Structure 1
Amino acid sequence: MSCSFLDLQITEVIAAGATTVVVPGMIPLGCEPQLLALYQGGGGDDAGDYDPKSGCMTRLNDLAEHHNRALNHALAELRRAHPGVSLVYAELYRAVTDIVVSPGRYGFRDMPLAACCGGGGGPYNFNMTAFCGAAGATACAVPSEYVSWDGVHFTEAANRHIACAVLNGRPYDGGAPPTMSTVTAWPAAAEVGRSRIGCS
Structure 2
Amino acid sequence: MSSVSGALQSLLEKGAKYLVVQGHPPTGCLTLTMYLAPEDDRDDLGCVKSANDLSNNHNLMLQARLQEFRKQYPHAVIVYADYFNAYRTVMKNPSKYGFKDLFSVCCGSGEPPYNFTVFETCGTPNATVCTSPSQYINWGWCSSYRSYV
Instruction: Tell me the TM-score normalized by structure 1.
Output: 0.67
Matching residue of 1:68: 59
- Stretches of structure 2 lacking an aligned partner (at least 5 in a row): 142-146
CA distance in 2 between counterparts of 1:80 and 1:125 reads 47
- How many corresponding residue pairs? 144
Contact 2:70 2:78 in 1 (8 A): yes
Task: Please say if 1:102 is aligned against 2:93.
Answer: yes
> Offset of 1:20 from its aligned partner?
1.1
> Offset of 1:120 from its aligned partner?
4.6
CA distance in 2 between counterparts of 1:6 and 1:123 reads 35
> Offset of 1:123 from its aligned partner?
2.4
> Offset of 1:23 from its aligned partner?
0.4
Q: 2:82 aligns with which of 86, 91, 98?
A: 91
**CA offsets per residue over residues 80-112 of structure 1, 9 Å max, x none?**
111110111100001111122221110111x21
- Larger RCO: 1 or 2 (CA < 8 Å, sep 6+): 2
CA distance in 1 between counterparts of 2:15 and 2:89 reads 35
Change (3 A) 1:65 1:74: same
Richer in strand (by share):
2
- Stretches of structure 1 lacking an aligned partner (at least 5 in a row): 155-200
Instruction: Could you list the structure 1 runs, at least 4 aligned residues long, displaced by more than 4 angstroms after superposition.
Output: none
Matching residue of 1:29: 27
- Residue pairs, 1:78-157, within 5 angstroms: 78-109=69-100, 111-151=101-141, 153-154=148-149
Over the aligned positions, Cα root-mean-square deviation in angstroms equals: 1.6
Percent identity, aligned pairs only, is 35
CA distance in 2 between counterparts of 1:68 and 1:39 reads 21
Secondary structure in 2 matching 1:130 = coil
CA distance in 1 between counterparts of 2:120 and 2:38 reads 17
